[in-house]
Amino acid sequence: MGFQKYFYQKIPLRFRLKLRRFALFLGAVLLGITIGIGALAFVSAADIYEYNDTVDGVHLPRVDAIVVLAGGRGRIAAAGDVWYRYWELSQGLIKGISENPVPQETPLLYISGMGHLSNWGVVARQVRRGVLGVLKPENVVLETESVNTEDNARWLARYARAHGWEHILLVTSPYHMKRARYIFEKVLSASALEKALSVETLSIFQEPFEPVEWRHSLHGIRVTLFEYLKWVYYKHFCHPV
């Protein structure tokens, strides 16, 4: 630091003033660019909510597994509720909610990205009491290795290949679904599965993550903007395989 100060003092005063003005100008330009990018992202971020699920939550297609991406509040509980509706259908307790009139076998509940220390007890604490009354450990697959959405898709591809799955129902937050579906389709198409794996999607209801609500809270803005930047990155610069 002493050398830098000495060197700076040796610069003629008129050049030091020009250097300061240039630094101020450069700082203003960078600040303007940052504000502009932020404003553009704020206006464009709603794009991640422009996605239509393939499942409406009432008419349930035949699937081998309900795949829920852990990491978002309420996702596992919501996926457990969906699993419970499949269970009710398989038991003949309810009718008219399936695209197939014939009762079907209850799919597995595949929880992706739970973390290395997760176990059945961690899952049980996140599932509603009524669901937990019939949901057993053998109905659940805990994937504890993946740390991001790409890993989620790659580990799922391995499991689907090993068990001959053909249909899954992907469950995640509404702000995450567009990017998750994009990544899953890219990874699965590059995985050379013996059987093509179709991906149905069902976004869970979460406040404030709805198209007209996310701008009304700092939490909604922060999460949505961050997810939008990740969506732009994956769509234009990264091609998961």
- 217 in a domain, yes or no? no
- 161 in a domain, yes or no? yes
HEC assignment per residue over 37-58: HHHHHHHHHHHHHCCCCCCCCC
- 109 in a domain, yes or no? yes
Average pLDDT estimate for 38-55: 77
Q: Which domain holds residue 187?
A: 65-206
Contacts with 38 (C-beta within 8 Å, 6 or more apart), sequence order: 225
At 176 the pLDDT is 95
- 82 in a domain, yes or no? yes
CATH number, domain at 94? 3.40.50
Tens of pLDDT, residue by residue over 170-189, are 999 999 999 999 999 999 98
Mean pLDDT, the chain, whole residue set: 84
Count the neighbouring beta carbons within 10 Å of the beta carbon of residue 153.
26
Q: Give the pLDDT band (50/70/90) at residue 6.
A: low
119/14 Cα distance (integer angstroms):
68
At 214 the pLDDT is 81
pLDDT at residue 102 greater than cutoff 50: no
Place of tokens 């996702």: 75
Name which of 232, 41, 37 is nearest 29 in CA terms. Answer: 37
The answer to whether the CB of 79 falls within 8 A of the CB of 111 is yes
Tens of pLDDT, residue by residue over 104-126, are 689 999 999 998 889 999 999 99
- 43 in a domain, yes or no? no
Query: Where does residue 98 fall: left (phi above 0), alpha (psi -120 to 50 degrees), or beta otherwise?
Result: beta
At 18 the pLDDT is 67
Tens of pLDDT, residue by residue over 186-216, are 999 888 787 889 999 999 987 777 777 887 8
The total number of structural domains that make up the chain: 1
> Among the ranges 23-37, 78-92, 101-115, which has the highest mean pLDDT value?
78-92
- 129 in a domain, yes or no? yes
At 41 the pLDDT is 55
- 44 in a domain, yes or no? no
At 31 the pLDDT is 60
- 37 in a domain, yes or no? no
The answer to whether the CB of 187 falls within 8 A of the CB of 157 is yes
Q: Dihedral (C-alpha) 133, 134, 136, 140: value to the nearest 10 degrees? A: -110
